[in-house]
Amino acid sequence: MKRKGILLLLAASLLLTGCSWLDGRYVSAIPHKEQRQEIQTDVVSASNYQELMAAMESLIAAGTENATINVVDYPSDMVESGMTMVVRYARNTYPLGAYAVEDIHCELGTSGGLPALAVTITYRHSWAELQQIYRLENVNDAETVIAEALESYDANAVLLVENYFSRDFTQLVQDYAAEHPETVMETPQVAVSLYGSGLSRVVELNFTYQNSRDVLRQMRSQVKPVFNSAVLYVSGDGADRQKFSQLYGFLMERFDYTIETSITPAYSLLRHGVGDSRAFAIVYAAMCREAGLECMTVTGTCSGEPRTWNMVLDNGYYYHVDLLRCSETGGYRELTDSEMRNYVWDYSSYPECTGVIVPETQETEPSHAETTGEPAAEDVTEPEPPTETAVPGEIFEDF
């Protein structure tokens, strides 16, 4: 009776140390420190290489650390070579394995008197991290995930793409940030890592910001009222050109601006009056879109220097609008392609700006000669007023 009690105590202690038995053969099973605390021992079967490969995929996808694979129907002389190939496939070709698996250890033995493999898998990413991976049909679906990550100021996003094709993720991030300056305060640096080979890939995107998440959220909360006010500033029943002009006035009259580049364009422009041509263009475009107006940004050069300006759709025709040039010349003005002297841009990427062709039958306002009988005075160009130099302020506020 005493001997029986000792045997039961020994068996219990072996179970508590995480050991398993394969007909007398001991296999160590030490959980990876980042994995789930409970010890997992799954049992699956495989009779050929394809089934063995599928079994390994399912174990990794579930974050399984310890498993027994029954190979009773697998040709005995091919089990070890098949397992070697499967381990190589799981760690290099299978996307989820290439991303998540640190090591795979297999040992051939028996279970219940039948041939079996004891498998131990360690991971470089926790089971909780595996659950955060986005499963996508193709790369185009990544746009929604990236948008959510940027607006939350997440440090990374991991995507499992079933039908992968090459995509410039860095450009995708930059484009989204430029189109949404009201919500994305800073464009992060992007590091892209690909895992696996073949049709499916795991794409790991790591985002690096110079400002903390809390600071960026504070910035967004401070510029949001400005964007809301811009929409209210626009006359609801006015013509498009009037609305574009009103938004121009709302933005350009806020400060005596300092022309400098900032990593937080919307915040620096709207809170401190500091920005470059790109900051003016992306903020103005966002305000126009919020007001229901079509406005895009154009990137090119002016007199050989990098320049960003806008292109607006006014009464069915596209026009160029360079806010800084308007400010220098005294007010809002829309320009056609032919008027954009010294500007260069990718003409194939944007609509033509040919301007409005006024029909001869269209009614026009009476001329000065018609109303007074006196000849009209010659146009006189007023000299440009001297430009005031703003005093640069601090780009960031203390929170």
Each residue's pLDDT tens digit, 103-149: 999 999 988 889 999 999 999 998 899 999 999 999 999 999 999 99
Instruction: Give the percent of the chain with pLDDT over 90.
Output: 73
Q: What is the predicted pLDDT for the residue at 85?
A: 96
Q: Strand, coil or helix: what is 94?
A: coil
Dist. CA 240–CA 246, nearest whole Å: 10
Q: For the chain, what is the largest distance between any 2 Cα atoms, rounded to a whole number of angstroms?
A: 130
Evaluate whether 340 touches 310 at the Cβ level (below 8 Å).
no
Least confident of 7-16, 81-90, 160-169, 349-358: 7-16
Contact 296, 310 (CB under 8 A): yes
Count of residues in the chain:
399
Token duo for residue 301: 């050069």
- Alpha carbon dihedral 210, 211, 212, 215, in 10-degree steps, equals 180
Angle at CA of residue 97, ends 95 and 100, nearest 5°: 110
Instruction: Quote the tokens at residue 151.
Output: 């607006």
pLDDT band at 41 (very low <50, low <70, confident <90, very high): low
Angstrom distance (rounded) from CA 2 to CA 6: 6
Whole-structure pTM over 0.85, yes or no?
Answer: no
Residue 393 has pLDDT above 50, yes or no: no
Higher-pLDDT residue of 118, 377: 118
